Structure 1
């Protein structure tokens, strides 16, 4: 893993240098958008609606618009904000672990000690374990001030960013205002059903079946000759030069022959499997 931020945890006069790492990763299959006609990649351009030019990221600022008024905030403006430049994870208070509403949890990060001695880091971790408390902290990451929960996971300190209170929506559903009578027998049977499913949670026992099936589908298509080399744009081809047209035609013919051969080779094997079954 590669650290994405360096700073320190500050509580009282204690300062704990740390490195921050993303604790999660996305395992979903990633796709590119392509033209269904020729397989060419679809690209999006950052084009200015005033001058029509394609704009590089280095020339793009952010703007706030309200009531037909626009305020442009530059990178220098963001850097001038003291909170955005802070490198401290400031402990505000220590609260009982069960007082942090899980709905507030946002992103999770691992913290690694970043000093010659991990004593201060270990002291904080053991203190949180012994007191059964979570540290509520303020910190800044990626030009945004955040609220966080600092807690223990095994031998590691974990920082979880929290949503601000006004970002959590209240749930009010009129259908729940209706009075419902639940009998003691119904409650007893429902509790028995819950008990029949009772178990200790083991996340490693669960897998993403959709992603597994999607990967199997991709592998099956590749095995049966449905995979082709990505189509790439060519400046000369876009200008209509004959040489490019000949290359494109030969490539299309080659792919067609390979695909037909693969399909022909796969059909007898499919029949044999079906017959055996």
Structure 2
């Protein structure tokens, strides 16, 4: 990895020199725009408005609007002259309980590596921070922007998680929040039971970026002039959420399905369960079970038709 910034973590009168590295990376496939008719590459140029004269990137500045409406042009040197850009310091201002910072504030993560000859001060701060179960709230400047961040420890490494400013978080304004939605105690109990049956420890390794996997398959198939997927591969469309006949029955069916031993799950019966299986957009497990049942039924029907033809 290559460091993108150097500075000091200031903690009281203690300064801990660190190097900053991006903790994440994108694995999205690279692509470029082309003309859909013949695949000719599409390119963009920076040209002066009203002319075809191209402007070098180094000569491009940003224009801002002053309070009185006048346009002010600021160059990169102007931005670099801001006093805040001259402080290579990650200033810790306070320590707060970890559960008080809602994850909605989390933005980008950076690893901090000790930059001094001795990592003792770095390790001391990391261990002290980890033992208190608190986040260090700090401010620093990166790429000409003042940022708020939470400093925490992940696998022994101090990690700086930039935080969004409060005015960057949108306030949810949805009509249903003003509605008086009646929830029956049985529904709440059953929903809690379903959550309990699905409770486990988080293991990100068990998840897969299905989009990237299918995209890769599609690219290779197209390169060979074939098709990657058939109509049978298409996911079953979920039922309309407005058509849920009996939410409690759907929850019961889901809990029963989760509780049944592997390989011994029996198809549910009964009018209530049938309604749940056909109209359960709000329960992911029930929807998945319905889709699987439809697929199995289709395959069975296909098998019977084949046998009849063979017999004739």
Q: TM-score, normalised by structure 1?
A: 0.78
Q: How far off is 1:16 after superposition? A: 0.5
Name the counterpart of 2:65: 65
Between the two structures, name the one with larger relative contact order (CA 8 Å, sep ≥ 6).
1
Q: How far off is 1:36 after superposition? A: 2.7
Name the counterpart of 1:102: 103
Distance 1:82 1:68 in 2: 25
Q: Which moved more, 1:58-67 or 1:77-86?
A: 58-67
Q: How far off is 1:183 after superposition? A: 2.0
Residue 42 in structure 1 maps to residue 35 in structure 2: no
Name the counterpart of 1:193: 194
Within a 5 Å distance, the mapping from 1:85-124 to structure 2 comes to 85-124=86-125
Q: Please state whether the residue corresponding to 2:130 is helix, strand or coil.
A: helix
- What are the Cα deviations for residues 83-134 of structure 1, in whole angstroms up to 9, with x where unaligned? 1222100001111111111111111111111111100100010011111111
Distance 1:104 1:225 in 2: 45
Name the counterpart of 2:77: 76
Distance 1:215 1:45 in 2: 30
Residue 3 in structure 1 maps to residue 3 in structure 2: yes
Within a 5 Å distance, the mapping from 1:183-262 to structure 2 comes to 183-224=184-225
Residue 25 in structure 1 maps to residue 22 in structure 2: no
Residue 125 in structure 1 maps to residue 126 in structure 2: yes
Uncovered stretches (5+) of structure 1, i.e. residues with no partner: 227-277
Name the counterpart of 2:277: none
Count of matched residue positions in the alignment of Structure 1 and Structure 2: 226
Q: How far off is 1:18 after superposition? A: 0.6
Q: TM-score, normalised by structure 2?
A: 0.69
Name the counterpart of 1:271: none
C-alpha RMSD of matched pairs (Å)? 1.7
Structure-2 change in CA distance of 1:49 and 1:126 (3 Å):
same
Name the counterpart of 1:145: 146
- What are the Cα deviations for residues 152-199 of structure 1, in whole angstroms up to 9, with x where unaligned? 111100001111111111113232212122222111111111112111
Uncovered stretches (5+) of structure 2, i.e. residues with no partner: 228-312
Q: Please state whether the residue corresponding to 1:93 is helix, strand or coil.
A: strand
Q: Please state whether the residue corresponding to 2:181 is helix, strand or coil.
A: coil
Q: Please state whether the residue corresponding to 1:25 is helix, strand or coil.
A: coil
Name the counterpart of 2:160: 159
Distance 1:79 1:55 in 2: 22
Distance 1:206 1:85 in 2: 42
